[in-house]
Amino acid sequence: MNYTALKEQVCRINKEIVRAGLVTLTFGNASGADRRAGVMAIKPSGVGYDDLTPADIVVLDLGTGKVIEGAKRPSSDTPTHLHLYRHFPNVAGIIHTHSTHATSWAQAGRAIPCLGTTHTDHFHGPVPVTRQLTRQEIESDYELNTGRVIVETCRQPDEIPAVLVAGHAPFAWGATPEKALENAIALECVAELAGLTLALNPKAKPLPRPLLAKHSTANTAPAPTTANPDCARFQAVGFIQQVLLKTDKFRPRPVGADGRRWRRGTGNGAPPLQSPCTRADIIHAAARDQV
């Protein structure tokens, strides 16, 4: 069987998580599954994102976990991905990153509360955090047990397509690798928004149930509003894809000693800037240029 299309898709998504600002150094990976063929494709270990090609992608049998195609060693997180595919039947794309804000919540051992409509347009409730793995789970089949604790925690994987692994980092998934990428981007956004919200108002309460239900059942994202234009723009799936998936405007930026990414330019002929910018700066600049 020919797996070229799947390998090209997974290679592209791995590069997109870097372009989206979700990866520092080599932390993270993306995989995709072909349910009909019964296979999964994933980034190999030891290959940098810049050097990654479709030929490097490793294809494995979903049932046995045996390598079907590819000369390189699959990612060390492969057992986690396999376990999730086996237990989440509607999932065909998984992304694991160590993105700054979502990972901060994971390290704090806190679920991300649903504080606003930006959150619930992608996650229909709080993004859960797993329990800590036991010493035995860590010392024996750590990656597989990571998958097990995720399945144990996520009772509604289709409604809340992400999780925080306590003390580790986030995983996000979707019906396609592209949808998983979108959810990973949204996860980092709502993690940042929740942190900022609670910094401004430590007593902020979760979104009321009627409003949560309203946005959870909506089929389309709301149009931008004058009350909160940046968040409204970011809610739109098409905007996320246009700015972060389909353009070459924002490429990976060097990371300075302070952990912030340096902006080389803002596109549209603008001169290079010599000031550091965060991922939020990039999103806001893109919103002004694109919407």
Instruction: Tell me the DSSP string of 254-287.
Output: -B-TTSPEEP---STTPPP--SEE-HHHHHHHHH
Residue 186 and residue 183: Cα distance in Å, rounded? 5
Token pair for 44:
């190999």
Q: In terms of domains, do 182 and 242 share one?
A: no
Q: In terms of domains, do 180 and 268 share one?
A: no
- How many domains does the chain contain in total? 2
Query: How confident is residue 217, by pLDDT bands cut at 50, 70 and 90?
Result: low
**CATH code (residue 140):** 3.40.225.10
Over residues 258-266, the mean pLDDT reads 42
Token pair for 156:
């509604």
Range of the domain at 270: 229-290
Task: Flag the least confident range among 6-10, 91-95, 179-183, 263-267.
Answer: 263-267
Burial 103-140 (b: 16+ CB within 10 A, else e): bebbeeebbbbbbbbbbbbbbbbbbbbbeebeeebeee
In three-state secondary structure terms, 83 is: helix
Query: How long, in residues, is the chain?
Result: 291
Q: In terms of domains, do 186 and 268 share one?
A: no
Most confident of the following: 8-12, 18-22, 49-53: 8-12
Over residues 112-139, the mean pLDDT reads 93
Query: How confident is residue 24, by pLDDT bands cut at 50, 70 and 90?
Result: confident
- Cα diameter, the chain: 56
- Write the DSSP assignment of 233-250 as a string of letters: HHH-HHHHIIIIIS-SS-
Closest CA to 187 of 14, 142, 195: 195
Over residues 4-11, the mean pLDDT reads 96
Q: Could you tell me what percentage of the chain is helix, strand and coil, using 3-state DSSP and rounding each to the nearest 5?
A: 40, 15, 45
Domain membership of residue 212 (yes or no) is yes
Task: Flag the least confident range among 87-96, 102-111, 200-209, 266-275.
Answer: 266-275
Q: In terms of domains, do 177 and 241 share one?
A: no
Q: In terms of domains, do 248 and 130 share one?
A: no
pLDDT reported for residue 208: 76
Query: How confident is residue 136, by pLDDT bands cut at 50, 70 and 90?
Result: very high
270 has a pLDDT exceeding 90? no
Residue where a domain stops, chosen among 187, 216, 245: 216
- 196-208, pLDDT tens digit by residue? 999 999 999 988 7
82 has a pLDDT exceeding 60? yes
Contact 249, 286 (CB under 8 A): yes
Percentage of the chain with pLDDT > 90? 62
Domain membership of residue 163 (yes or no) is yes
Query: How confident is residue 98, by pLDDT bands cut at 50, 70 and 90?
Result: very high
